[in-house]
Amino acid sequence: MSTGTTLPRALLTDLLDDAAVFPPGSAPLPRAVAEYRDRVRHPWADLVGPLLVPATASAELLAVLAPEPPPGQQAGEGPTARLPVVLVARPDTPVSALVEAVARLWPVPTVRLAGVELSHQAGWQQALDWGVPVAVEVDRAPEARQPALAAVAAAAAAEDSPPVRIKLRTQSSPAGPVPTGEQVAGFLTDAHAAGLPAKLTGGLHHAVATTVPADGGTEDQHGLLNVLLAAERVRSGAPAEQVLAVLAERHGETLAGQAAGLTGDRARAARTLLTAVGCCGVLDPLTELADLGLLPAVETARQEDP
């Protein structure tokens, strides 16, 4: 089905952070780096943000990257082009591991540290000292999240603070199942109320909310269109039931029709709140958006390139 109306590019630009090395994709780091570089000239390249790399894999990343330009090649070309990297310290990773990873990569000419991510834990404020964007993962339970929100909002309000946002894990993990629609809606609402931009990560492999096989059973997963529309609803002050309804919607045609209306101020509202989504297969939801007619198909886009 095609709506005949593609989404405004600004709604999708830099939306999908490349989490190829994280579960369930778990791509080897050399392959993830190579595929990221190969996509530089892909028609959808501008829709993909930086490569997410575990802080614990910083030494491996150095081994993968070419440290200096080969003879006859300028710095910034080919395998020596600066790779935009966000270092991620997952909830079981101490801040000290992130500090060590940043120190290791900071002087490397082939890396551009595009940000860091870590859980709300003792000492998380050290991440503010590097002057790069910071994402702080918070709990899905509202009562456990509030102290973190207050601390992060206070830090973000400081005059010399780098950009700070909060993050919610939207995939199943050993810590718990996929968060419910109520939990995602509550997170987005709390972020907006605190004046903080938000990021969602994991489990957003599809354009539309769906049910997939998982561990011998099934698992409900949130959709990229669903969360974008939910963010716009929250920003516009829509009632909670409308936010929940759009998160629960599973008809692609319905969501496509609503998403086609996210232009101008509505698109900016959605992305002001929902700044990024971590995805281990960044082309998967984009392909589904193209199937819905909301994004030019790859071959069409290539023909339109100058």
Among the ranges given (66-70, 94-98, 181-185, 208-212), the one the predictor scored with the smallest mean pLDDT? 66-70
pLDDT mean over 277-302: 87
Name the percent of the chain lying above pLDDT 90. Answer: 81
Q: Read off the pLDDT of residues 40-97 as tens digits, 9 standing for 90 and up.
A: 889 999 999 999 999 999 999 999 996 555 555 555 555 557 899 999 999 999 999 9
Per-residue pLDDT at 17: 98
Q: What's the one-letter identity of residue 35?
A: E
pLDDT tens column, 246-279: 999 999 999 999 998 899 999 999 999 999 999 9
HEC string for 217-236: EEEEECEHHHHHHHHHHHHC
- Confidence at residue 130, expressed as pLDDT on a 0 to 100 scale: 97
pLDDT band at 217 (very low <50, low <70, confident <90, very high): confident
Cα 105 from Cα 154, distance rounded (Å): 28
Q: What is the mean pLDDT of the chain?
A: 91
Residue 29 confidence (pLDDT) above 70? yes
pLDDT tens digits, residue range 232-241? Answer: 999 999 999 9
Q: Is the confidence at residue 306, as pLDDT, over 50? A: no
Summarize pLDDT for 193-205 with one digit per residue, the tens. 999 999 999 999 9
On the CB side of 52, how many CA atoms lie within 13 Å of its CA?
29
pLDDT value of residue 176: 82
CA–CA gap between residue 262 and residue 119 (Å, rounded): 32
Q: What is the mean pLDDT of residues 33-44?
A: 94
User: Mean pLDDT across the stretch 20-41?
Assistant: 95
- Checking if the pLDDT of 244 tops 90, the result is yes
User: pTM of the full predicted structure?
Assistant: 0.92
Helices 224-235 and 181-194: crossing angle in degrees, nearest 10, is 40
Res 77: pLDDT? 53
Closest CA to 112 of 61, 70, 69: 61
Structure tokens belonging to residue 165:
């946002």
Cis peptide before 28 (omega within 30 of 0): no
Contact call for residues 58 and 105 (beta carbons, < 8 A): yes
Task: Tell me what pLDDT residue 303 has.
Answer: 44
% residues pLDDT > 70 (the chain): 91
d(CA 48, CA 52): 11
pLDDT at 302 over 60: no
Nearest 10 degrees: CA dihedral of 175, 181, 183, 184?
A: 90
- Average pLDDT of the segment spanning 287-300: 86
* pLDDT score, position 304: 47
